[in-house]
Structure 1
Amino acid sequence: MMQKYSTGIAAICAVLSMAAAPAQPDLARVDARAPAGSGRFPAVMEQAASFPGYTVFAPAHLATQSKLPVVLWANGGCMAYGNRYRTFLTEIASHGYLVISIGGIGPATIEGGSEEGMPPPPVSMTAPALSNYTQLTDALDWATAQNRDRKSALFAKVNTAAVAVMGHSCGGLQAIAAAADPRIKTTLVMNSGVWNKGTGGLPGAPVTKASLAKLHGSVLYIGGDASDGAHENSRDDFERITSIPAVWAYPDGVGHGGTYFEPGGGTFGSVVVNWLQWRLKGDRAAASLFSGPDCGLCRDTRWHIARKNLK
């Protein structure tokens, strides 16, 4: 039976069975809560039968939506639980985005709790990967196919020319690796950065400092203060980036776990939404949080910000 939101995202990507089995909606809603997020388009979390191993966040009703930019997400610890950051990702989706997270639905209590710390280098590159950075571009391939499929509720609803890739901690390294794809327009590296020495990355995220040269479009590094184990790595990454618009920002009193599990994703949720609104939708009001001599984060005494190549 179709879910309550079958006229919206629950009908996304309906795939006709080639066998005689009864037709089923491709996406089944897995979040029992009402559509959420502070944006104009309250969003839901679902999982596609045609795309196992991923979790989708999008506005609950698509009929009146303009095209949705795509946000590709990789989890802290490179985990494969797509609902781990559901509050944060639902907030983003509610502002009119199609968000696809690596990992199917994990335990109902997976969101929140303590976040894994940064493993000290040298890191084993022979341990099995929990997920792989290539899953991010696989997700973009899927979204692109749905945008072209007349049987999909996402038909002509996805802006495949406006794509962001982002991730937390180990997921931030996966985002850097995936950002070499020319379809990526902006990269968000969160509580993360490439080790200066002693490792070539993590399993599933094989990046080195040389990988930074493949970044294009623009990049935002957002993380914690000096208590964050990734703080110095992110600072060093930022200093090495010379040719594209780049921002490095962090608030006092926030560590490696960020604010992802606070309502609306906390202060990180607000900053990330503004970055996406600017870099993917051209919103100049959102740009003022980062650009100009009197930028919003520049005036916020809790935040520290460094910038280069902004226009």
Structure 2
Amino acid sequence: MRRRTTVGAVLAALVTTLVTGIMTIGASPADAAVGGSGPYPADYETSTGLPNHTIYRPQNLPSERLPLLVWGNGGCAASGTAQINFLREISSHGFLAIANGAPNGSGSTTSQMLTQSIDWAFAENSRSGSKYFGRIDTSRVAVAGFSCGGLEAYAVSADPRVTTTMIFSSGLLNDADDYQLRRLTKPIAYFIGGPSDIAYPNAMDDWGKLPAGLPAFMGNLNVGHGGTYDQVNGGEFARVAVLYLKWRLKGDTAAGAQFAGPDCGLCRSGQWQVQQKNLTLDGGTSSPSPSPSGSPSPSPSGSPSTGPGCTATYTVQDQWNGGFVAGVVVTAGSSAINGWRVTLTLPAGATIASAWNAVNTGTSGTVAFANVSYNGRIAAGQTAGFGFQGTGTGSGAVASCSAT
């Protein structure tokens, strides 16, 4: 039984207050350093194709593809600049971040707006003529939110395109919503403001009900419900969010060492109270294989192939006792392709539980994956990606690709 009645009422009241723009308790907002502290100075823009949203992007798009973060604001407030310092800081480290709500907008948001952000980003990545054409890593998608926005993130976490969830100072309000926990299959991280955070009991209750085997991180920083979003460059919450996203969406195991293991960086920080479930830094094995058309394999770093057809590079992104998450990057050769098919031979005993950004035929042994409607067309030398969660051990799978 959850202790939610009183907490839920208080949190609901606080959500109402947050809508008015009071995002930090007992502190006045501070201006962010222009562009954030990352290597890609960032700001925000809007798009007529995605009304009522705010898009944070590096001012000059880097050569590396941008993983995607979609964000629900505190109070479910429809102001996409409500956590501007925090989101601009994340984007400056090479991420595309899309917040619900127009810049300085008013009103309230819904979880469907997070789905709209993902839809738009995937479409732009595939649209010839878009500045984002082939520039978004659609195999790496995080959904996240603060307070009421965290509830929106929970609602979207089951989207097959989402590869990790981040909950900031939030937790389910009612036992009737616990089904959202039971359907979680991708890694999740909680960043909570400590016992003085009104969402603390809700978050800890959720933590105790996560599915067995789910990779999960819980960090408590004693700053209360308001977090550090309005501090310069988003403060400590932004710093750890960037590290988590580098780990989960860019495969940076040095960043992952801040979260995983008994001697993790945040464990030793003296600031954070840390709990872990099923976290390992295993992963990073890749097995590129040429397509039947004879194009050469990419280098171990995953560089695009130079021949016709396509190549597939397989990577274990996370491995835990009894399960794993893997990703596959499909790279077109010297000519554009209009569709692709990846054949993956899994290790003995491994099975596929769920897949995103591709349709699979079979779940064990040799499995075929075909593109979906939004990621089949790939320009010469460009990439698309998909991922899946499996049971067993993911290391050692062999992938091959053919253009269709």
Tell me whether 1:61 sits opposite 2:60 in the alignment.
yes
Aligned: 1:189 with 2:148: no
| Aligned twin of 2:335 | none
Q: In structure 2, what is the equivalent of residue 83 of structure 1?
A: 81
Displacement after TM superposition at 1:34 (Å): 8.5
2:217 aligned to which of 240, 244, 247: 247
Which secondary structure state, in structure 2, belongs to the residue aligned with residue 228 of structure 1? coil
Show the counterpart of 2:38: 39
Determine which of 232, 248, 259 is the counterpart of 2:228: 259
Any idea what SS the aligned residue of 2:139 has?
strand
Q: Is the 8 A contact 1:54 1:101 kept in 2?
A: yes
Q: Give the whole-Å Cα distance in 2 for the aligned partners of 1:42 and 1:75.
A: 22
Q: 1:273 aligns with which of 242, 259, 275?
A: 242
Structure 1, 40-49 or 67-76: larger mean CA deviation? 40-49
Unaligned runs of 5+ in 2: 1-31, 281-404
Shift of 1:216: 2.1
Residue 138 of structure 1: how far off its partner (Å): 1.0
Number of aligned positions between the proteins: 249
Q: In the alignment, is residue 284 of structure 1 matched against residue 253 of structure 2? A: yes
Quote the offset at 1:274 in angstroms: 0.5
Alignment of 1:117-156 (within 5 A): 130-156=108-134
Structural RMSD (CA): 1.8
Q: Which amino acid counterpart does residue 151 of structure 1 have in structure 2?
A: G
Residue 35 of structure 1 deviates from its aligned partner by 5.0
Any conservation in 1 of the 2:33–2:232 contact (CA below 8 Å)? no
TM-score, normalising length: structure 2 = 0.60
Q: Which has the larger share of strand?
A: 2
Structure 1 unaligned runs (5+)? Answer: 1-32, 111-128, 201-207
Q: Deviations over 1:69-121 (max 9, x none)?
A: 000000011111001111100000001000000000116xx9xxxxxxxxxxx
Which of 184, 201, 210 aligns to 1:215? It is 184
Give the match for residue 167 of structure 1. 145
SS of the aligned residue for 1:37 comes to coil
Q: Kindly indicate whether structure 1 or structure 2 has the higher relative contact order, using CA contacts under 8 Å at least 6 residues apart.
A: 1
Match of 1:240, SS? coil
Conserved in 2, the CA contact under 8 Å of 1:196 and 1:233?
no
What residue identity is the alignment partner of 1:53? N
Following the alignment from structure 1 to structure 2, what is the Cα–Cα distance between the partners of residues 42 and 214?
37
Q: Which consecutive aligned stretches of 4+ in structure 1 deviate over 3 angstroms post-superposition?
A: none
TM score, norm. by length of structure 1: 0.77
How far is the alpha carbon of 1:65 from its aligned partner? Answer: 2.5
Q: After superposition, what is the alpha-carbon deviation per residue over 1:147-187, rounded to whole angstroms, capped at 9, x for unaligned?
A: 01111000000001100000000000000000010110000
Q: Following TM superposition, by how much is the alpha carbon of 1:211 offset from its aligned partner in structure 2, in angstroms?
A: 0.7
Please tell me whether the aligned partners of residues 238 and 247 of structure 1 are also in contact (alpha carbons under 8 angstroms). no
Structure exhibiting the larger radius of gyration computed from Cα positions: 2
Point out the structure with the larger helix share: 1
Task: Write the distance in 2 (CA, Å) between the matches of 1:289 and 1:34.
Answer: 25
